[in-house]
Chains A and B, each alone.
Chain A
Amino acid sequence: MESILRVEELKTYFLTLGGVIKAVDDVSFEVKKDEFFGLVGESGCGKSTTALSIMRLLDDTSKLEGRILLGEQDIVRLSKRQMRHLWGKKLYMVFQDPMTSLNPVMRIKDQIGEVFRKRGEKAVKTSEIMERERELLDQVDIPDSDRVLNQYPHQLSGGMKQRVMIAMGIAISPDLLVLDEPTTALDSTVQFKIVELLLNLKTKYRMSQIIITHDFGVAAKLCDRIAVMYAGKIVEQGKYVNLLKEPAHPYTQGLFRCIVKKDQKTDYLETMKGYLPSLNNLPKGCYFEKRCVISKPLCKEERPGLIDIGDEHFVACHHFPF
Chain B
Amino acid sequence: MQSSLVEIVELKKHYPLSLGWFGRLAGSAKTVKALNGLNLSIYKGETIGLVGESGCGKSTLGRIIMGIEKPTEGFVSFNGRRMDDLKTKTEMKAMRKKMQMVFQNPAGTLDPRMTLHQVLSEPFEIHYKLTKKEQDKRIGELLEMVGLHYGDSKKLSGEFSDGQKQRIALIRALSLDPEFIVADEPVSALDVSVQAQVLNLMKGLQKEMHLTMLFISHDLKIVRFLSDRIAVIYLGKIVELGPSEEFFENPYHPYSKGLLSSILDINPGLDSNQFRIKADVPVSQVNLPRGCVFQMKCYGPTDQCRKNEPELREISKGHFAACFEN
A interface residues with partner B (beta carbon < 8 Å): 42-43, 141, 155-160, 163, 187-193, 195-196, 199, 214-218, 220-221, 240-241, 244, 254-256, 258-262, 264, 267-272, 275
Contacts and interface: CB of A to CB of B under 8 A. Distances in A.
B207 to A, nearest CB: 9
28 contacts: A42-B193, A157-B280, A187-B218, A188-B220, A188-B262, A189-B53, A189-B279, A190-B280, A215-B264, A216-B266, A217-B263, A217-B266, A221-B269, A240-B268, A241-B268, A254-B193, A255-B192, A258-B192, A259-B266, A261-B265, A261-B266, A262-B265, A268-B200, A268-B203, A271-B196, A271-B200, A272-B196, A275-B163
B193 A192 contact: no
B219 interface: yes
A244 B225 contact: no
A190 B281 CA distance: 9
Contacts of B72: none
A47 to B, nearest CB: 12
Contacts of B195: 258, 260
Majority secondary structure, A binding face: helix
Contact of B221 (A141, A190, A221, A260): A260
B31 interface: no
Nearest to A239: B268
Nearest to B279: A189
Majority secondary structure, B binding face: loop
Contacts of A187: 53-54, 218, 279
Interface of B: 53-54, 161, 163, 191-193, 195-197, 199-200, 203, 218-222, 224-225, 258-259, 261-270, 274, 277, 279-282
Interface centre among A42, A43, A269 (most CB of B within 10 A): A269
A240 B269 CA distance: 11
Given A187-B53, A269-B196, A192 B161 contact: no
Closest CB pairs A-B (n = 4):
A217-B264, A192-B262, A187-B53, A42-B191
Contacts, number: 116
Given A188-B218, A260-B196, A268-B203, A220 B280 contact: no
Given A217-B265, A241-B268, A270-B196, 12 more contacts: A141-B280, A188-B219, A188-B220, A191-B262, A193-B280, A195-B264, A258-B193, A260-B196, A264-B225, A268-B200, A269-B196, A271-B196
A43 B193 contact: no
A239 to B, nearest CB: 10
A214 B265 contact: no
B134 to A, nearest CB: 32
Contacts of B269: 221
A216 B268 CA distance: 10
A160 B282 contact: yes
Nearest to A157: B282
B160 to A, nearest CB: 10
A262 to B, nearest CB: 5
A316 to B, nearest CB: 18
Contacts of B282: 155-157, 160
Given A189-B258, A190-B279, A220 B196 contact: no
Contact of A262 (B196, B263, B268, B270): B263
A43 B279 CA distance: 28
A234 B118 CA distance: 41
A136 B163 CA distance: 43
B279 A193 contact: yes
A221 B219 CA distance: 18
B192 A42 contact: yes
B147 to A, nearest CB: 10
Contacts of A220: 264-268
Interface centre among B203, B262, B281 (most CB of A within 10 A): B262
A163 B221 CA distance: 26
A260 B267 CA distance: 13
Contacts of B259: 188-189
